[in-house]
Amino acid sequence: MSNTQDKKHIVIIGSGVIGLTIAQVVTTRFPDKYRVTIVARDTPEDLTSQAFSSPWALKGANWSPFSVEMPDHKTFRRELETFNTFWDMEHTGLTYNVPYTIYFPEAQGLENVWFKALVRDFRVLSPEELPSGFTGGVKFSTITVNPIKYLPWLKNELLNRGVVFVKRQIHTIGEAADIAGPEGIIFNATGLGARSLIGVEDKLVYPIRGQTILVEAPAVKECVALPIGTGENPDGKATYIIPRPSQGHVIIGGTYQKNNWDTSVNFETAREIWDRAVEFLPALKSDKSRIISHNVGLRPAREGGPRIELQKVRLPFVSDLMHGVKGTISEERELPIIHAYGFGGTGYQASWGSAEEAVSLLESI
């Protein structure tokens, strides 16, 4: 085994579910080839930071379809790989295999929806199983994750593998290059931060505001939802009820509001969310249920979809936005940066497949 300092240095910017999963894949595939450092302003312990989207998991940290329309091949592969990984983790208590029902205003073509090949136990609901106002529905088994337990578990796994965590905000690619050192490699998993990271400055990145309610409701054992579609619904409403592993916690939502940066709780919206949820699952109002918290966070989306690609940046890094600031690297070279951000509400449900895809790009360096 080589000395740690002799290994190439990988620096991952961002410790959300994507950054942590990338570190898992790197250290699994290449246990002796790289030393890995994760640098982030927010870490898995920062569970209440509204600028840190992973702990909020505003669509429930589960797998669910955003549309009945078939996604592109890469998206399907990322989600299939992630679904299978989470499904096989149920014995750990970090994930929960649970029934999921989606009601549709129109029933046409539901027997052939694309996700039939991804989920388990798929079937189309009979007319007798539909609530008033809906003409179609499907039921299947899916996975849900508890972020409050899952993110710290990922971090502990990485610490046991020798991954170093540095709590620090990175403002420029040059800062990351300084940490990585000669022949270093960067993974950019900054989510919304990719918009303001100097040297990336991706203006295609935008937030999708999500407001939810966390409820203790032990009687709720299955997911219920209406189709979110592509998130372009004019009122920004998204109805879903998702139980999480352990403690009888249920996340109910919600909103799906593009380009909305407001992180304050709207209590009128909260009442609407609660009333819609109770309409579908009256058990939420039982004497054994209680509201734990009202939550708001920002999903890190990107026009055109997620960015997973290799970019090479010339060093030393120079930007007129950081006039007079010089990094420690003075020799000219190309810095490899592998980008993995812009997943919107699909961060968890695409995490393992996306991380595998991003790490595969190391072969191109």
Q: Is the pLDDT of residue 330 over 70?
A: no
- Which whole number is the average pLDDT over 234-255? 87
Compute the chain's Rg from CA coordinates: 21
Percent of the chain with pLDDT over 90: 75
**Residue 331 confidence (pLDDT):** 76
Of residues 54 and 257, more confidently modeled: 257
Q: Which long-range contacts (CB under 8 A, 24 or more apart) does 361-365 make?
A: 361/308, 361/309, 361/310, 362/26, 362/30, 362/185, 362/338, 364/310, 365/185, 365/310, 365/336
What DSSP character marks residue 348? T
Query: What is the per-residue pLDDT across 174-220, written as a single tens digit (0 to 9) for each?
Result: 999 999 998 999 999 999 999 999 999 999 999 999 999 999 999 99
Q: Is the pLDDT of residue 1 over 60?
A: no
Q: Is the pLDDT of residue 88 over 70?
A: yes
**Residue 171 confidence (pLDDT):** 94
**Residue 256 confidence (pLDDT):** 92
- Which whole number is the average pLDDT over 21-42? 97
Q: Is the pLDDT of residue 51 over 90?
A: no
- Please tell me the least confidently modeled range out of 36-50, 295-309, 337-351: 36-50
**Residue 232 confidence (pLDDT):** 44
**Residue 231 confidence (pLDDT):** 40
Sign of the Cα torsion 231, 232, 237, 240 reads: negative
Q: Report the alpha-carbon distance of residue 284 to residue 218 in Å, rounded.
A: 9
**Residue 44 confidence (pLDDT):** 87
pLDDT averaged over every residue in the chain: 90
- And the tokens for 295? 């939550």
State pTM to two decimals.
Answer: 0.93
The runs of H, that is alpha helices, within the chain are 17-29, 73-87, 147-160, 173-180, 267-280, 351-360
CA distances from 42 to 108, 163, 192, 193, 260 (A): 44, 16, 13, 11, 21
For the chain, the residue count is 365
**Residue 313 confidence (pLDDT):** 93
